[in-house]
Structure 1
Amino acid sequence: MFKKIGILLGLSFLTHLQTSAQGNIHQASTEYQYPTDPLVKEKLETWRDQKFGMIIHWGLYAVPGIIESWELCSEDWINRDSTQTYDDYKKWYWGLNKQFNPTNFNPEQWAGAAKNAGMKYVVFTTKHHDGFSMFDTKYSDFKISNGPFAQNPKADVAKYVFEAFRKQNFMIGAYFSKPDWHSEYFWWNRYATPDRNANYDIRKNPWRWNKFKEFSYNQIQELMTGYGKMDILWLDGGWVRPLDTVTDEVRAWGAAIPAFSQEIDMPKIASMARKNQPGLLVVDRTVHGEFENYRTPEQSIPATKSDTPWESCITLGGAWGYVPNDNFKSSTKVVHTLIEVVAKGGSLLLGVGPGADGTLNDIQVARLKEIGTWLNANGEAIYNTRTTDIYRDGETFFTKGKDNSIYALVRLPEDQAINPTITWTGNVPAKGAKVFLLSEKVAVKWKAEGDKVSVTLPASFLKKYKNYPSLAFKY
């Protein structure tokens, strides 16, 4: 993912901040520009109906089980073994390509677990900042299909990931890192690599940067032409951007900003991509404008609702990729997060990292299944919904269906007995309306005193469940 230093207030992405080993939180643009292409607008609304997706970080970093790519970057917040020189570390990291041999690679397991979780779209890391391609690119030998896994029938990993998720009727997204720290056109070995940016003055070396732009275009073109139908091009690395888009908001990240532009010609890339994939959503993260079709706050939820398209990308564990002994969130925590995100107008993209062998572990699979159990019974209050004027009252959140039905989602404390009487203020049902408990498909008794609503839970529900992640009522 795209890490940064410092916290930008902007749209107040301040609740549920999650920190992992890297201790950095990514911010989103504070502005939004709606697309004008009718096909893009149509796909955007379809995407907004999905609400819940999976982002899969998988690459060289899974072999030692470390933070994705970032230890290659020589910035103050990076922690590495102080007994090893930086050059030796880079040689070791690049050399992991000779060890990465995921012989148990099982994208069908991933897609099945995501489907069981109630997810509807996927974003897969075709290339992270380290430059290691998880697809069979013709433009680099630094790829999964040019190592010990080369002779495997599924060596073109991205192809089989996308195919597995398409078979489960997912919308398909390709994550692609704009920076490429392995490319001589981005990190030129003539110079040191002090930070995440190009390590040479682009103004003095236009040929080299033009070669990088050509390289980026060609790799994205491969993904847009050789890997089936695509719905989302999810571009990470927002510091690679035109200099005139660097605002005070961007400067507040605290990361180094060079005096030269690092633009890669997004108009040309987007035009090519949409010619091959009509209606494609392009998500040029943090670069406000026509190529950021939805915004992507990282490891956080906005403090208030926003009716412009956005997505919180939050990890299931503490890291994006596989790390040993990761601390995974409970299914109730994820359900609570999903409810808040959706009530505030967004979608939740949950980060899951397969191990170096190519499989998800038992805890990940179990958590996803538990989340799906809740969604299977209550998903009507999540999918295909939009926001209401009153979107929250304490731990009760509200969504609205396309038929104008109102849903009240009451988050319950973990491991506590359920109170038989549930109350909230606002969004009062119409007089005489029926209020249904979605999970049981039964009408419940309710009353209103002014704008305070009280609902009595059925005895059968209380007998059936000692605790429950969240109640969902429809009226």
Structure 2
Amino acid sequence: MCFLSDPTKVQAYLKTIDEVIEKGPFKDDWESLSHYGIPDWYARAKFGLFVHWGVYSVPAFHNEWYSREMYQKGSRAYAHHRKTYGRNFGYKDFIPQFKAEHYDPKEWAELFAESGARYVTPVGEHHDGFKMYPSELCEWNAVNMGPKRDVYGELKKELTDRGIKYCSSSHRAEHYWFMNGGRDIPGSDVQDEKYREFYGPSVAKAKGDPSRRPEGSIVPSKAWLEDWLASTCELVDVNRPYTIYFDWWVRQHAFRPYMKKFLAYYYNRSREWGMEVCVFYKWDGVMYHCAVLDIERGQLAAINPRPWQNDTAIAKNSWGYTQGNDFKTPYELICNLIDVVSKNGCLMLNVGPKADGTICPEEAAVLREIGKWLQINGEAIYDTSPYKIFGEGPSNCGGSFHEKFSFTKKDFRFTYKPDALYVFALMPNQKNIYRLKTLGSKDDALNYQILGVSLLGRNCNVSFTQTNDYLELHAATDERFEMPVCFKISID
């Protein structure tokens, strides 16, 4: 069975991969890979963007898993698809409608710069198997079909011109089984061997598989693992991204030797290119200290000793654009950003453009509001490190898919630079008086000399009183704040 346009090209790529690893300083073993550190630029960046845009943006229904769920009997997408498009309309038939006719990479880059993002991660290939970059290995890509242009090559140039780092992501691992529901639908185009290269193996779960996860107990074949390795190395070679993000299934143990080869290849290539790169993984998909931990739609409950990443979306229900998206507020997302940064993390916030290449007004407005807030408070976010403690207050949580935004007037978060402690009040009160119990002198959290206190972005006097039991800050202003505010405590 052929998974790629030309299997001989895959084998040639695998040979190149081995040659690069043999010549480079990083070998495909965990000990060697653990010596590749986290880039300083990433640790300082704090805020980036994720972009989910692809063929799934055409139906714009429910979420970005439409290509799977339209073949899943009993799902909302299955019923919607039958009613709207009919039983003979396959996922491949959306590709000609993915025209990106209003796509303007300059407009995107300007908006992303306005948001304050330091890096941007467009999805290189999602679970549907459609590559958003030019590929010699697979003809099902955005240069050959759909937009018929190098959409992300164009975006990279615009981002680079604005000092924003271009990154990418691969979700190809899951493509091995992603559209397997089509195996159970008589006459489905998923079963048509003419489209096997696009639909992939579509391996079904074994009957009686007790796992509730969509992939069940499926184990990828050697052919697919080689396919994945070659495809992912091609992805980094095409546009030389500063980071690569992986979704969850690479944690399947069969990927281990191939992941080690990819990391060694990418890290060695980065040395050739003069770049400092990093890789994001979830659920122990990579050995600790060999890449950067990512928490999807969640947080950590405490400061992590190594920089990490939280990826979440502006929309609560989907990563891609849908007509029924339910959006988070700028306030919620700014609180999320502060919480993540206080624990040594970076936030990668997702937007989902429409199939025509435009970004919906709701998401654009959110990005601009975040940018306005960062214009005032950015010095307490960018280039900071965590303090001795991340903050105080009753609201805290940790784990993936566990987002919490109900902060109270007693919730504070801290960040630090060598001459300043920054204190964020996540829910400002009307009196602009804040008492922090963790910063009393008896607890050794703040025994530096306080030289003065200011409120970022406001020209008002801030008085302070420190006792054994608390530090009290009082901003002399009648202004009522709707967004989190930040006090800069100058220390020596």
Aligned amino acid, residue 396 of structure 1:
F
Residue matched to 2:307: 309
Cα distance in 1, alignment partners of residues 166 and 106 from structure 2: 15
Residue matched to 2:466: 448
Q: Please state if 1:225 is matched with 2:243.
A: no
Aligned amino acid, residue 345 of structure 2:
G
Residue matched to 2:192: none
Residue 468 of structure 1: how far off its partner (Å): 3.4
Indicate how the Cα distance of structure 1 residues 406 and 78 shifts in structure 2: closer, same or farther if over 3 A, else same.
Answer: farther
**The one of 415, 418, 438 aligned to 1:426:** 438
Task: Name the SS for the 1:412 alignment partner.
Answer: coil
The 8 Å contact of residues 185 and 211 in structure 1, kept in 2 or not, is answered as: no
Cα distance in 2, alignment partners of residues 312 and 284 from structure 1: 11
Matches within 5 A, 1:340-419: 340-394=339-393, 395-401=411-417, 403-412=418-427, 418-419=430-431
Indicate how the Cα distance of structure 1 residues 91 and 72 shifts in structure 2: closer, same or farther if over 3 A, else same.
Answer: farther
Q: Please state if 1:239 is matched with 2:249.
A: yes
The 8 Å contact of residues 292 and 309 in structure 2, kept in 1 or not, is answered as: yes
Indicate how the Cα distance of structure 1 residues 474 and 94 shifts in structure 2: closer, same or farther if over 3 A, else same.
Answer: same
Residue matched to 1:474: 488
- The Cα offsets for residues 312-358 of structure 1, whole Å up to 9 and x where unpaired, read as 11111222110114222221111111111111221111111111110
- Identical-pair percentage: 23
**The one of 49, 59, 64 aligned to 2:54:** 59
Residue 268 of structure 1: how far off its partner (Å): 1.8
- The Cα offsets for residues 444-466 of structure 1, whole Å up to 9 and x where unpaired, read as 2111232312222123xx3xx43
- The Cα offsets for residues 24-58 of structure 1, whole Å up to 9 and x where unpaired, read as xxxxxxxxx998666x4251x32111111100000
Cα distance in 1, alignment partners of residues 488 and 32 from structure 2: 33
Task: Name the SS for the 1:96 alignment partner.
Answer: helix
State the number of aligned residues: 404
TM, length-normalised to structure 2: 0.74
Aligned amino acid, residue 211 of structure 1:
A
> Taking CA–CA contacts closer than 8 Å with sequence separation of 6 or more, which of the two structures ends up with the larger relative contact order?
1
Residue matched to 1:109: 107
Residue 441 of structure 1: how far off its partner (Å): 5.7
Cα distance in 2, alignment partners of residues 122 and 350 from structure 1: 9
Task: Name the SS for the 2:293 alignment partner.
Answer: coil
Residue 124 of structure 1: how far off its partner (Å): 1.1
**The one of 128, 131, 141 aligned to 2:129:** 131
Residue 469 of structure 1: how far off its partner (Å): 0.8
Residue 77 of structure 1: how far off its partner (Å): 9.4
Indicate how the Cα distance of structure 1 residues 35 and 50 shifts in structure 2: closer, same or farther if over 3 A, else same.
Answer: farther
Task: Name the SS for the 1:376 alignment partner.
Answer: helix
The 8 Å contact of residues 293 and 309 in structure 1, kept in 2 or not, is answered as: no
Aligned amino acid, residue 173 of structure 1:
C
Residue matched to 1:324: 323
Aligned amino acid, residue 58 of structure 2:
V
TM, length-normalised to structure 1: 0.76
Indicate how the Cα distance of structure 1 residues 433 and 83 shifts in structure 2: closer, same or farther if over 3 A, else same.
Answer: closer
Residue matched to 1:121: 119
- The Cα offsets for residues 227-248 of structure 1, whole Å up to 9 and x where unpaired, read as 14x2111122x224453xxxxx
Task: Name the SS for the 2:296 alignment partner.
Answer: coil
Deviates more, 1:130-139 or 1:446-455: 446-455
Residue matched to 1:48: 43
Indicate how the Cα distance of structure 1 residues 367 and 201 shifts in structure 2: closer, same or farther if over 3 A, else same.
Answer: closer
Residue 192 of structure 1: how far off its partner (Å): 4.8
Aligned amino acid, residue 220 of structure 1:
T
The 8 Å contact of residues 331 and 370 in structure 1, kept in 2 or not, is answered as: yes
Indicate how the Cα distance of structure 1 residues 331 and 52 shifts in structure 2: closer, same or farther if over 3 A, else same.
Answer: same
Cα distance in 2, alignment partners of residues 312 and 264 from structure 1: 26
Aligned amino acid, residue 451 of structure 2:
A
Cα distance in 2, alignment partners of residues 423 and 366 from structure 1: 33
Q: Please state if 1:283 is matched with 2:280.
A: yes
Task: Name the SS for the 2:434 alignment partner.
Answer: strand
